[in-house]
Structure 1
Amino acid sequence: MPSFQTSGRHGYSVQFSPFFPHRLACASCQYYGIAGGGTLFVLDVAQDGLRPVQVFDFSDGLFDVTWAENNENILVAAGGDGSIQVWDVLQPKGPLKILKEHSKEVNAVNWSQTRNENLVVSSSWDNLIKVWDVSQSQSIRTHVGHSHIVYDVVWSPQLPGTFASASGDRTVRVWDIRGGDSCAVLIQAHSEEILSCDWCKYDKNQLFSGSVDGLIRGWDIRSPRLPFCELRGHEYAIRRVRANPFLGTSLATTSYDFTVRTWDTSQQRMLETIQHHTEFVYGLDFNIHVPGQIADCAWDGVIQVYQPQSCVPP
Structure 2
Amino acid sequence: MVRSIKNAKKAKRKKTKVSSNGAGSTSSSLPKSPSLPARVWRPGVDKLEEDEELQCDPSAYNSLHAFHVGWPCLSFDIVRDSLGLVRSEFPHTIFAVSGTQADKPPSNSIEILKVSNISGKRRKLLPKKAADGSDMDSDSDSDSDEDEDEKGSGEPILQLRKVAHQGCVNRIRSMPQNPHICATWGDTGFVQVWDFSAHLNSLAESETDTSQGRTSVSNQAPLSMFRHKDEGYAIDWSPLVPGRLVSGDCQNSIYIWEPASESKWNVDKNPFVGHVASVEDLQWSPTEADVFASASVDKTIAIWDIRQGKSAFKSFKAHDADVNVISWNRLASCMLASGSDDGSFSIHDLRMLKDGDSVVAHFTYHKHPITSIEWSAHEASTIAVSSADHQLTIWDLSLERDEEEEAEFKAQTDDSVNAPEDLPPQLLFVHQGQKDLKELHWHNQIPGMIISTAADGFNILMPSNIETPLPPANGSA
The 5 A counterparts of 1:175-214 are 175-214=304-343
Task: Report the structure, 1 or 2, having the larger strand content.
Answer: 1
| Cα contact 1:215–1:230 (8 A) shared by 2 | yes
| Cα contact 2:195–2:223 (8 A) shared by 1 | no
| Cα contact 1:24–1:43 (8 A) shared by 2 | yes
| Cα contact 2:279–2:295 (8 A) shared by 1 | yes
Question: In the alignment, which residue of structure 1 is the partner of 2:41?
Answer: none
Q: Structure 2-normalised TM-score?
A: 0.61
Task: Report the structure, 1 or 2, having the larger helix content.
Answer: 2
Question: In the alignment, which residue of structure 2 is the partner of 1:17?
Answer: 79
Amino acid at match of 2:67: F
Amino acid at match of 2:280: Y
Give how far 1:164 is off. 1.2
Percent identity reads 23
Moved more, 221-230 or 44-53: 44-53
CA 1:298–1:71 in structure 2 vs 1: closer, same or farther (change >3 Å)?
Answer: same
Q: Secondary structure at the match of 2:307?
A: helix
Structure 1 residues 205-250: Cα deviation after superposition (integer angstroms, max 9, x where no partner) = 1100000111110111222314011122112010111000101110
Q: Distance in 1 between matches of 2:105 and 2:386?
A: 24
- Residues 1:255 and 2:410 are matched in the alignment: no
CA 1:290–1:181 in structure 2 vs 1: closer, same or farther (change >3 Å)?
Answer: same
Question: In the alignment, which residue of structure 2 is the partner of 1:125?
Answer: 250
Alpha-carbon RMSD across the aligned residues, in angstroms, is 2.0
CA 1:49–1:282 in structure 2 vs 1: closer, same or farther (change >3 Å)?
Answer: same
Q: Distance in 2 between matches of 1:242 and 1:50?
A: 27
- Equivalenced residue count is 308
Q: Secondary structure at the match of 2:468?
A: coil
Give how far 1:50 is off. 5.2
The partner residue of 1:41 within 104, 111, 135 is 111
Structure 1 residues 156-188: Cα deviation after superposition (integer angstroms, max 9, x where no partner) = 222212211111000111112122221122121
Question: In the alignment, which residue of structure 1 is the partner of 2:169?
Answer: 62
Question: In the alignment, which residue of structure 1 is the partner of 2:140?
Answer: none
- Residues 1:6 and 2:79 are matched in the alignment: no
The partner residue of 1:313 within 468, 474, 477 is 468
- Largest Rg, 1 or 2: 2
Amino acid at match of 1:17: V
Amino acid at match of 1:109: I
Amino acid at match of 2:376: N
Question: In the alignment, which residue of structure 2 is the partner of 1:115?
Answer: 241
| Cα contact 2:342–2:367 (8 A) shared by 1 | no
| Cα contact 2:275–2:296 (8 A) shared by 1 | yes
| Cα contact 1:16–1:24 (8 A) shared by 2 | yes
Which sections of structure 1, spanning at least 5 residues, go unmatched?
none
- Residues 1:222 and 2:351 are matched in the alignment: yes
Structure 1 residues 117-137: Cα deviation after superposition (integer angstroms, max 9, x where no partner) = x11111111211111125445
Q: Structure 1-normalised TM-score?
A: 0.91
Structure 1 residues 1-33: Cα deviation after superposition (integer angstroms, max 9, x where no partner) = 3332121x22211211133462111222124xx
Question: In the alignment, which residue of structure 1 is the partner of 2:139?
Answer: none
CA 1:20–1:284 in structure 2 vs 1: closer, same or farther (change >3 Å)?
Answer: farther
- Residues 1:167 and 2:296 are matched in the alignment: yes
Question: In the alignment, which residue of structure 2 is the partner of 1:304?
Answer: 459
Q: Distance in 1 between matches of 2:380 and 2:74?
A: 26
Q: Distance in 1 between matches of 2:437 and 2:105?
A: 19
| Cα contact 1:85–1:97 (8 A) shared by 2 | yes
- Residues 1:282 and 2:438 are matched in the alignment: yes
Q: Secondary structure at the match of 1:246?
A: coil
Amino acid at match of 2:75: S
Give how far 1:98 is off. 4.4
Question: In the alignment, which residue of structure 2 is the partner of 1:144?
Answer: 273
Q: Distance in 2 between matches of 1:174 and 1:30?
A: 35
**Higher relative contact order at CA 8 Å, sep ≥6: structure 1 or structure 2?**
2
Amino acid at match of 1:172: I
Question: In the alignment, which residue of structure 2 is the partner of 1:103?
Answer: 229
| Cα contact 1:3–1:49 (8 A) shared by 2 | no
Q: Distance in 1 between matches of 2:265 and 2:382?
A: 39
Question: In the alignment, which residue of structure 1 is the partner of 2:60?
Answer: none
